[in-house]
Amino acid sequence: MEQLLVLLVERDRLIESLVARVGELEARLAKNSQNSSKPPSTDNPFVKPPPRSLRGKSGRRPGKQPGQGGARLEPHAEPDEVVVHIPGSCQGCGGDLTGAPVVGEQARQVFDLPPIRLQVTEHQAQARVCGCGHVTTAGFPTQASAPTATGHSSASLTPPRRDLRLVRRGPVRSGTTLATGGRRTY
């Protein structure tokens, strides 16, 4: 009977030491850079931090909402300036296209803001057919990257799209409207 009591006392001591060890290990695991002097690099990368914002989800997806109309620059029927780009030589055989007939034309308009008023320059790239039968089209300048595009001066009028979240929409919209004479929304 006495041996049984000795075994029970030994078991109780072992249980106490193991409980103390488990408590110590759990306390060590609970430490992170927020509640101890440990550096942030030792934090568990799989633990998601608690949310800092109290704002709930709106149910909307980010970006343009479905059903909302888009916006773009509309081409002007009468541009302020027309620049004609003529291909110099045939891309097929290298022949001269100076007197060759014009068989097609593409137009791209660049909207730019000079110091006082909006200046629209239309770039027209002519396509000419060579004596060998190959049609060559002149290239557009880099600023005419689309059928309608803004120039260098007007690009500095409004902040880039990624910065619009930092600016109230009203002043940006009204500033753009005053400068271009039309409504442009983001």
Structure tokens that stand for 46 in this block: 């799989």
Computed over every residue of the chain, the mean pLDDT equals: 82
Q: Where are the domains of the chain?
A: 2-37, 81-150, 156-186
**pLDDT tens figures, 13-63:** 999 999 999 999 999 888 888 888 889 888 888 887 777 888 888 888 888
156-169: pLDDT as tens digits: 655 566 555 555 55
Span 50-94, pLDDT tens digits: 778 888 888 888 888 888 877 778 899 999 999 999 998 999 999
Neighbour-count burial for 84-105, b at 16+ CB within 10 Å, e otherwise:
ebebeebeeeeeebeebeeeee
The pLDDT score that the predictor gives to residue 84 is 94
Express each pLDDT in 85-129 by its tens digit.
999 899 999 999 988 999 999 999 999 876 666 788 999 999 999
Q: How confident is the model at residue 185 (pLDDT cuts 50, 70, 90)?
A: very low
Whole-structure pTM value: 0.35
**Could you give the 3-state DSSP secondary structure of residue 96?**
strand
